[in-house]
Amino acid sequence: MKLGKQITYGYAVMCFLMLVISGLSLYSIYRLDKVTSNIEGRFTTLSNILSKKERVPEPLRFEDKMIAEIKKITNEQVKYAYVNVFTVGLIALLFGGMLTLMVPRVITKPISRLVNATKWVASGDYSYRIKNPSESAEEISILIAAFNDMLENIERRGEENIKLLEETKALNQTLEARVDEATREIKEKQVQIIKSERLAAIGEIVAGIAHEIRNPLSGIAVALGLMKSEVQEPEHKQTIADVLKEIDRLNRIIRDLLQYAQLAHPRKLNLVETDPNEVVERVINLMNPKAQERGIEVEKKLNPTGPFRVDPDQIEQVVMNLIINGIDSMNGHGKLTVETQNTNGYISIKVSDTGHGLSEEAKEKIFRPFYSTKTNGTGLGLPISLGIVEMHEGKILVSSEKDKGSTFTIMIPVNSGSESGNLM
């Protein structure tokens, strides 16, 4: 039960008891008054009887005076008793009323405010403050002030905790980003290590096989050349010419194999500050006759790019390989576009064709060694090109759509090779 109700009920009980006590007191006074009247009546009757029998007026006069005095005193006591009873009742009523009015203001209401404040705090609102009325008791005022101080401390610590939580969250995000970056770098290093080990193993095998094959092929080519000069029949001459052509093809394959094997042990790049547009111009000039022979239109879009540090011979080889692939992908007609740009710190050389395009499976495999979409391809041109570009800290991007053509984009950083020439 609330304190205010307890005080009200206590005051009601007190009033009830005061009324009962006052009623009993009044009843006692009434009985005393009745007894006094009865004594007075009896004394009067007795006095009358005695005065008729004995005729002694003097004593009767003295007794009359005494009775009158007793009656006067009794009446005064009765009056005082009434006054005291009513005075006590009135004081009790006034005191009880004052308690009823003052206690809720001094104690009950401040405590109710404390209860409401605890509900706000329980809901998570630490900004709530209790207003301390001036009429509150000193102890209640101290309690309210302590409660408000506690809320301020909680709110301040809450803000500090929120700030600390935000800082911790930001730190976690930074650490997570760094861990992700470190993990990515480790994975890239692992891929590079695996790739290097694979290249080294393949390189050793390929180099050994290529050297073993190249010498006999050279002897066979010389012998066939002599035979061709001595043979008179046209059919035999044509057969020898076809064989020599295949020997040349084998020699190109061996050359590609040896070049691919060298990626495992790359030589130092001959870095020179070069204009990308000049590189593209030289390659297009070399490839124009082949393009015209195939009925391919070549378009140049050479934008101002600024120089970049590369090995010009190596980059020319990559551009040439991409142009050859583009020409081969178009069956006797189409358009080849070569474009240069400087975007976001990268020099890009973009080679686009309108050929047959690549399937999704082919796009995933074209940079694997010995995978080729050509019937007579070695499958080493693109892996070699990718290796050269990666030596320059660059990358090759591929976008293609089946039967709509392909676009290969060489991207090399503008500051490539600023510290070291061997970037593999």
pLDDT mean across residues, the chain = 76
State the Cα angle at 84 between 78 and 89, rounded to 5°. 130
Tokens 């050279």 appear where?
218
Q: Could you tell me what percent of the chain has a pLDDT over 90?
A: 11
Q: What's the DSSP call for residue 199?
A: H
CATH class label, 270-424:
alpha beta
At residue 421 the predicted structure's pLDDT band, cuts being 50, 70 and 90, is: very low
Enter the tokens of residue 104: 């809720």
Residue 129's SS3 state is coil
Question: CA distances (Å), 387 to each of 108, 155, 262, 272, 423, in order?
Answer: 86, 61, 10, 19, 10
- Residue pair 62/47 in contact by the 8 Å Cβ criterion: no
Residue 281 pLDDT class (50, 70, 90 cuts) = very high
Contact predicate 250/213, CB 8 Å: yes
Question: Residues 152-162: pLDDT tens digits?
Answer: 777 777 667 67
User: How sure is the predictor about 316, in pLDDT bands with cuts at 50, 70 and 90?
Assistant: very high
* Tokens 């008791």 found at: 137
Q: Taking a C-beta distance cutoff of 8 angstroms, is the pair 399, 406 a contact?
A: yes
Question: Per CATH, is 160-265 categorized as 3.40.120?
Answer: no
Say whether 270-424 and 160-265 share the same fold: no
Instruction: Name the DSSP letter for residue 303.
Output: -
Lowest mean pLDDT among 170-184, 199-213, 260-274: 199-213
pLDDT at position 181 is 85
Q: 125-134 long-range CB contacts below 8 Å, 24 or more apart?
A: 126/151, 126/154, 126/155, 126/158, 127/151, 127/155, 133/105, 133/109
Share of the chain above pLDDT 70, in %: 63
Q: How far apart are the C-alpha atoms of 94 and 73, rounded to whole Å?
A: 31
The pTM of the full predicted model, rounded to 2 decimals, is 0.49
Where in the chain are the domains?
3-122, 160-265, 270-424
Burial class (CB in 10 A: 0-12, 13-18, 19+), 418: exposed
Q: How far apart (Å, rounded) are the C-alpha atoms in residues 187 and 26?
A: 106
User: Six-digit token pair at 240?
Assistant: 């020898």
Residue with tokens 């984009």: 409
Cα torsion for 343, 345, 347, 350, to the nearest 10°? -40
What tens digit of pLDDT does each residue of 240-254 get? 888 887 777 777 777
The CB density around residue 1, as the number of other CB atoms within 10 Å, is 6
